[in-house]
Each structure stands twice: as C-alpha cells, then as structure tokens.
Amino acid sequence: MIKRLFLRNHLQFTFDLLDEWEFDLQLEKIEPANVKMKKPKILEYHGEPPAQYGEEGDDEE
C-alpha cells in the first residue's frame, strides 16, 4: 500500500500474471480535488493497450 505520493515517483506493476504486461507510471502533477470528476482520467499513454479477456483477437485456449 502506498502511504504518500511525491512528484516524479514511479509505480511499476504487472497487469496480467500470465502474459506479464509490465507498466511504469510516473506522477507528474498533483492538482486540487475536483468534486465533479467521478473517476480517474488517462491524460496520455504510449503504445497499444493489451486486449482484455474475451475481446476479439484473444487466442488463449
């Protein structure tokens, strides 16, 4: 569990333990809370996201 986040901190995690999709997130900015925002929003990404289970093109058997 993360107790504190600081600017430029990195968080690395594995999305799928079988396929081992590894991600590196970096905290670039902390803004004041927006009560109108109901959920987090992705501001930028690089590359293609992995297919979710059951999506077309999933060739696991």
Contacts of 16 (CB under 8 A, 6+ apart): 50
- Grade residue 23 by pLDDT with cuts at 50, 70 and 90: confident
Residue 53 pLDDT exceeds 80 = no
The number of helix segments (H) and strand segments (E) in the chain equals 0, 2
Q: Which residue has the tokens 């594995």?
A: 14
- Please, what sign has the CA dihedral across residues 61, 51, 22, 41? negative
Question: What would the two tokens of residue 49 be?
Answer: 């996201």
| pTM strictly above 0.75 | no
The SS3 call for residue 48 is coil
Instruction: Supply the mean pLDDT for the chain.
Output: 77
